[in-house]
Every structure is written in C-alpha cells, then in structure tokens.
C-alpha cells in the first residue's frame, strides 16, 4: 500500500447486488479502472471521507477485497457512505480518501457494521478531520482517475 491517505475517484458502477442493502448497508462500487490501479497489498477495510457528485463530504467505510465472482483474480472496491441519500446514485462521480486501515474482517457485512462506530469516532480526530475539506473531495472532475 502506498502511503495513506489514498485518494480514488470514479463513476459508481453496479456490483452484483450482493451489497447487504436490505440491512441498510449499500456499498457503492468503484469501476474496474480505479480498482485495477490499486496497489496489490491494498486489501482491507478503511475509513475516510467521501463525496458523491457534489461538495458534500461524508464519512465512509470502504472495503477493498478479492472478488469471488472472478475466482479472486479481480479486486473490488466498495464504499458505504454514512449518509442517507434520497435515491441511488449509480453513474455519479464518487471521490474518496482512504485514510485509516483497520484489520480485515471475515465478511463485508460484519466489517462495515463493526467499523462504522470506529470510523465515526476516528474521523473526528484532528489528523483525519483536516481532509474533510480537501479539494480532491470537493471538486468532482468528470474523468476517472485515482492517485494519492
């Protein structure tokens, strides 16, 4: 993993509908181009900030993992944003800053549920709070890219 924070931006794509949305935990999936640029050792659960097509920045938990649908040859990156959106936002530009890695957990569901409280508290620390106002998150660009 390159040094955190790790910034990613891309249009939200459809996953396999396996996000546990019925439990109130939808995960917005990043497109292949963004996932393919992730460093090899990037799998895990992170928390950081996210914006969806606007300047509103929210706390989020993101999971980067090997995708069993592709026999674990491809990674997926999916973010649960701690905000209630009026509607789905497939196709919108999602920008995230992965700032703090937590231990990888067995299932996406338990990971997100377990990490949510930790993320909410952890991101209020001054070192993480300062990125809430970072330009990367506040000025969505129309191109797909990621960087750090």
Residues with catalytic roles: 78
Return the one option of Mg ion, ligand ADP, none that residue 98 interacts with (CB less than 5 to 8 A, by type): none
Say how far apart CA 28 and CA 83 lie, in whole Å. 12
- Which neighbouring-strand residues pair with 147? 7
- Phi, psi dihedrals of residue 45, rounded to the nearest 5°: -115, 130
Interface positions, 71-110, toward Mg ion (CB under 5 A): 78
Q: How far is the C-alpha of 134 from the C-alpha of 8, rounded, in Å?
A: 13
Calculate the dihedral angle through the C-alpha atoms of 21, 134, 36, 15, rounding to the nearest 10 degrees: 10
What would the two tokens of residue 106 be? Answer: 């067995």
| 80 lines the binding site for ligand ADP (CB under 6 A) | yes
Determine, following the binding rule CB under 5 A, whether residue 19 of this chain makes contact with Mg ion: yes
Quick one: which of 11, 13, 29, 35 contacts Mg ion (CB under 5 A)? 29
Instruction: Answer yes or no whether residue 89 interacts with ligand ADP by CB under 6 A.
Output: yes
30: DSSP letter: P
Answer yes or no whether residue 63 interacts with Mg ion by CB under 5 A.
no
Pick one of 8, 13, 27, 108: the residue that binds Mg ion (CB under 5 A).
Answer: 27
Q: Is residue 14 involved in binding ligand ADP (CB under 6 A)?
A: yes
Q: Does 15 bind ligand ADP (CB under 6 A)?
A: yes
DSSP symbol at 141: -
Judged by CB, which is closer to ligand ADP: 38, or 79? 79
Q: Does 24 bind ligand ADP (CB under 6 A)?
A: no
Sign of the dihedral defined by the CA atoms of residues 135, 139, 142, 144, in that order = positive
Judged by the rule CB under 6 A, the positions of this chain that interact with ligand ADP are: 12, 14-19, 21, 26-29, 80-81, 83, 85, 88-90
């Amino acid at each position: 993993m390159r040094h955190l924070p790790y910034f990613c931006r891309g249009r939200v794509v459809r996953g396999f509908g396996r996000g546990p949305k019925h439990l109130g935990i939808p995960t917005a999936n990043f497109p292949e181009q963004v996932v393919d640029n992730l460093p090899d050792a990037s799998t895990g659960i992170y928390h950081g900030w996210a914006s969806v097509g606007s300047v509103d920045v929210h706390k989020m938990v993101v999971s980067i993992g090997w995708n069993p649908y592709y026999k674990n040859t491809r990674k997926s990156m999916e973010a649960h944003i701690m905000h209630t959106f009026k509607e789905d936002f497939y196709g919108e530009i999602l920008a995230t800053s992965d700032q703090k890695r937590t231990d990888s957990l067995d299932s996406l569901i338990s990971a997100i549920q377990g990490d949510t409280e930790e993320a909410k508290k952890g991101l209020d620390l001054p070192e993480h709070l300062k990125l809430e106002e970072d330009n990367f998150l506040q000025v969505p660009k129309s191109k797909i890219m990621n960087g750090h």
